Amino acid sequence: MSPTQPFLPFALPEIGEEEIAEVVDTLRSGWVTTGPKARRFEQDFSAFLGEPEGLHCIAVNSATAGLHLALEALGIAPGDEVITTTHTFTATAEVVRYLGADVKLVDIDPATLNIDPAAVEAAITPRTKAIMPVHYGGLAADMPALLDIAHRHNLKVVEDAAHALPTTCGGCLVGTLASDATVFSFYANKTITTGEGGMLVTRDAALAQRAKTMRLHGMNRDAFDRFTAKVPSWYYEVVAPGFKYNLTDIAAALGIHQLKRALAFQQQRERLAAAYDRALAGLPVVLPPRPALGDQHSWHLYVLRLADGAGIHRDRFIERLFAAGIGCSVHYIPLHLHPYWRDRYGLTAAMFPHSQHAYERMLSLPLYTRMTEADVERVAAAVRAALR
């Protein structure tokens, strides 16, 4: 490790000339907010998912917005409870609070770091209305078990698929499973990016209609509809106090071309993850869980856990990698440790032993398409050195 090597950041987007040209075209077109490109991005997204019968794709300005819209459309309200994993980003849970409902956090399966279906079933009360699985790191949650629980207890399922493009579960792409809604994120460090953005996907026509209305102020017609109408079209009606969650055409312009590259991006991430696996084999670390046979992992994150015999604290370990010029992150500080969630629900680490155990030992190594296998080798060398 030469100190003259440039810093290797934790994440970097890959934006190509086609994305840039499409954004410039949008800027020159005279229509910069939600319009033809946002529509095309929605259509392309549906095609990407194989155009399943009756699938609606609704572009939004973040996954957080999409999750909020999905729960709102499902009627989640004060008095209701929604179950999700403590081992996630706060966005998954905060949208439940936007609606005045309560969050029931549960522990993870230590083998997969995904929400534990048995813990979900044990947390169900008469107030429970929905389950929100997160496909952590890009590895599908145990959807067959979760959908079965939801079916038996008459619960809705909204998948937080912020990490899961493209991920498969039982051979089917996340987004086409039998849940009520699935929400993808196009935040800067996700597997494809629009800077900020998200996509709400559902087969429920009523949910789709409500989400489209609430995405734009609760108006029954959007501005582009009115702009392109053949008759004077200033008229619209406000049917609910909606939100401002629409995706701009500038962002959609990026998304159209990022989506075309999503499969190639996944292959590159998978190659890099395999290179990490080879380079780190035999060290006192727990490598990321593999997908089920025949399934695809999006490899949004490469999460390493220090083994109990590693002889170094995670925080010190990250400091050593940083000193070697390598950016890392931790996904996540579990929600039960954050003051808001901890204090509101009286949570302790002992209630989530698997999440807590993983959190104390985990870090996410850099993994993005602009990395080379030489970069992986450099990170692996720094990991080996830090463990000595």
Ligand X SMILES: *Cc1c(COP(=O)(O)O)cnc(C)c1O
Active centre residues (catalytic)? 190
Kind of pairing between the strands at 198-202 and 56-60: antiparallel
Nearer to ligand X, 19 or 160 (CB): 160
SS3 call for 158: strand
Residue in the block written with tokens 């989506």: 259
Burial class (CB in 10 A: 0-12, 13-18, 19+), 308: exposed
List Cα–Cα distances, 328 to 8, 19, 314, 338, 382, in angstroms.
Answer: 9, 27, 11, 20, 12
Nearer to ligand X, 88 or 128 (CB): 88
Nearer to ligand X, 128 or 298 (CB): 298
List Cα–Cα distances, 286 to 32, 343, 382, in angstroms.
Answer: 47, 32, 16
Nearer to ligand X, 235 or 340 (CB): 340
- Nearest Cα to 73, choosing from 130, 147, 141, 149? 130
Q: Are 296 and 174 in contact (CB under 8 A)?
A: no
Nearer to ligand X, 197 or 325 (CB): 197
Q: How far is the CB of 198 from ligand X (least distance, A)?
A: 5
Q: How far is the CB of 68 from ligand X (least distance, A)?
A: 9
Q: How far is the CB of 87 from ligand X (least distance, A)?
A: 9
Instruction: Spell out the residues 6+ positions from residue 76 whose beta carbon is closer than 8 angstroms to its own.
Output: 82, 96, 99, 101, 129, 130
Nearer to ligand X, 85 or 382 (CB): 85
Q: How far is the CB of 278 from ligand X (least distance, A)?
A: 27
- Cis before 302 (ω within 30): no
Q: Which two tokens stand for residue 107?
A: 């522990």
Q: Are 164 and 140 in contact (CB under 8 A)?
A: yes
Helical segments of the chain, H only: 17-29, 36-48, 63-73, 90-98, 117-123, 143-153, 205-215, 223-228, 249-260, 262-280, 314-323, 339-345, 353-361, 373-387
The residues binding ligand X (CB under 6 A) are 62-64, 88-89, 91-92, 134, 160, 162-163, 185, 187, 198
Q: How far is the CB of 202 from ligand X (least distance, A)?
A: 17
Nearer to ligand X, 11 or 91 (CB): 91
Q: How far is the CB of 61 from ligand X (least distance, A)?
A: 8
How far out from the chain centre does Cα 368 lie? Answer: 15
Kindly state the DSSP code that residue 8 receives in the 8-state scheme: B
Q: How far is the CB of 91 from ligand X (least distance, A)?
A: 4
